[in-house]
Amino acid sequence: MKLYVTTTSPFVRKVLVSAYELGIEGRIERQERPIHVIRRVAEVVEQNPLGQVPTLIADDGMAIFDSRVICEYLHGLVPGSGLFPAEPKPRLQALVEQALADGLLNAALLGRQELSVRPQEKSWTGWYDAMMAKIVSALDRFEDFAPGFGERIDIGTISAACAASYLDFRYADFDWRAGRPRLANWYEAISRRRSFLETTLRLPTQK
C-alpha cells in the first residue's frame, strides 16, 4: 500500500498511529508530498480530486480517503482488530470521540489558516475566536470523557490524542492542559506508546 502524507497533518498521524497499533505499519509505503491548503500536487489530485492527505492507494490500486475511511479500511485488514469496537455501544462511543476530535482539528486548522494564510489586512479575528471557542468546548468534553479512556486503544482514543498533539504542535501558546488534569494525565501516558513516538508531527525540514 502507498500512503500520501505530510509530516504536519494530524489526520495523517491518525492513520499512521492506527497502522502501528494494528501491526501493519510495515505494509505501508509513505509518500511525502508538499501539500498545502492553497497548493495542490497533481500526483495526489490524480488519486484524490480534493488533493488532500492522507490518501491511501490500496494494493489493488483503489484510492481511499479521508482518514476516517482509511482507518476503517485498515481495521478490516486485521481480523479481530479492536480499532473499531465490535459491540454497538462501545463502537458508537469511539465514533463519537473520533467525530469530536476531527471537529476540534478542523476548527484548529481553520483558525490557524486565518492567522497564517489569509493576508493580514483581510484577517477576521471574530472567525479565529469562534474556532477557538469550538476547540475549548471540545477539550472540555474530552475532559469529561477522559475517565472512560483508561488504557483503551481504539479509533476514539487515537483520534483524541492526535488532536491534542496538534495543539501542542501548532498552538504552543495555548495551554489546553489547564483545568483539564484528567485529559492531560491520560494524554501523557498514551503519548509514550511506540505508535505515537514513531509518528511525531514535525516540519518537513526536521528529521
Tell me the pTM: 0.95
For the cut 70, the answer to whether the pLDDT of residue 164 exceeds it is yes
Q: Which domain holds residue 45?
A: 2-76
Cell of 165: 498533539
Q: Decide if 198 is inside a domain.
A: no
CA distance 105 to 44: 22
Residue 111 · residue 103 · CB < 8 Å: no
- Residue 67: name the closest of 109, 18, 108, 23 by CA: 18
**In a shared domain, residues 38 and 125:** no
Residue 192 phi/psi, 5-degree rounding, is: -85, -5
**In a shared domain, residues 99 and 182:** yes
The total number of structural domains that make up the chain: 2
Q: Is the peptide bond before 85 cis (omega within 30 degrees of 0)?
A: no
The DSSP element (H or E) to which 156 belongs, if any, is: helix 155-170
**In a shared domain, residues 92 and 11:** no
Question: What is the Cα 20 distance to its own chain's centre?
Answer: 14
CA distance 155 to 193: 15
CA distance 162 to 183: 13
pLDDT of residue 206: 54
**In a shared domain, residues 96 and 185:** yes
Q: Decide if 38 is inside a domain.
A: yes
Tell me the pLDDT tens digit for each residue of 8-41.
999 999 999 999 999 999 999 999 998 888 889 9
CA distance 67 to 55: 8
Cell of 147: 475517565
For all residues of the chain together, what is the average pLDDT?
96
**In a shared domain, residues 123 and 56:** no
Q: Decide if 200 is inside a domain.
A: no
**In a shared domain, residues 61 and 28:** yes
**In a shared domain, residues 21 and 99:** no
